[in-house]
Amino acid sequence: MKNLLTLILLILLTSCSQQNESYETNLKSMKSFFTEFENANLDAVAQLYSNDTLNYQGAFYGSQIMTSKNELMAYMGAWHEAMSDIKYTADYFLPGVNEKTGLPDGSVRTYGTWSGTNKMSGKSFSAKFYHYANFDDKGLIIAGGDYGDATGLMIATAPDLEVTPDQ
């Protein structure tokens, strides 16, 4: 019995160590994502995502899950078309867990603040968001999402409408 408990403990410790290594590697990729995105280097961003499997939830009201890298890069490119000086300041990064087991799975979560300026209006923004990324065994992102009020952000920074009375 003692040998069985020792074996189980050894397996758990080995598994946790591997998950920690995978988290550290994936954390570097996630931080690289934010750096490359801020620099509008979407080719480098695209290299962080899997070509085979992808599920990504955007932050706009009514957003559908994106399942192709082309669709995702268009979504990300639209941010740069509309905004300048985009910057993400992380409050912190956290390891994620498997939804079924509750055990660390190498995924990465982050809470932070996006800031920038709407190109058309010149209005700046600062908004809190949450992001997550799940990775495959090659270290590529296979699922992710943005959670924050992207629709409100766009409305708040939109150019002011000029209303002229009817004559």
Question: Given pLDDT bands bounded at 50, 70 and 90, which one contains residue 96?
Answer: very high
pLDDT of residue 8: 54
pLDDT band at 100 (very low <50, low <70, confident <90, very high): very high
- Calculate the CA 157 to chain-centre distance: 22
Partners of 159 in beta bridges: none
Q: Label residue 13 by pLDDT band (50, 70, 90).
A: very low
Mean pLDDT score of the chain, rounded to an integer?
90
pLDDT in tens, 132-167: 999 999 999 999 999 999 999 999 999 998 877 775
pLDDT at 6: 55
pLDDT > 70 fraction of the chain, expressed in percent and rounded: 87
Asked if residues 84 and 103 have their Cβ atoms less than 8 Å apart, the reply is no
Report field, pTM of the whole predicted structure over 0.75: yes
pLDDT of residue 57: 96
Please determine, looking at this structure, whether the domain spanning 2-157 carries the CATH number 3.10.450.50.
yes
For 60-74, the pLDDT digits (tens) are: 999 999 999 999 999
Residue appearing with tokens 């994936």? 26
Three-class DSSP category at 49: strand
DSSP-assigned letters across all residues of 85-111? EEEEEEEEEEEEE-TTT-SEEEEEEEE
Residue ranges with strand state E in 10-149: 55-57, 83-97, 104-118, 124-135, 141-147
Query: Which sequence spans correspond to the domains of the chain?
Result: 2-157
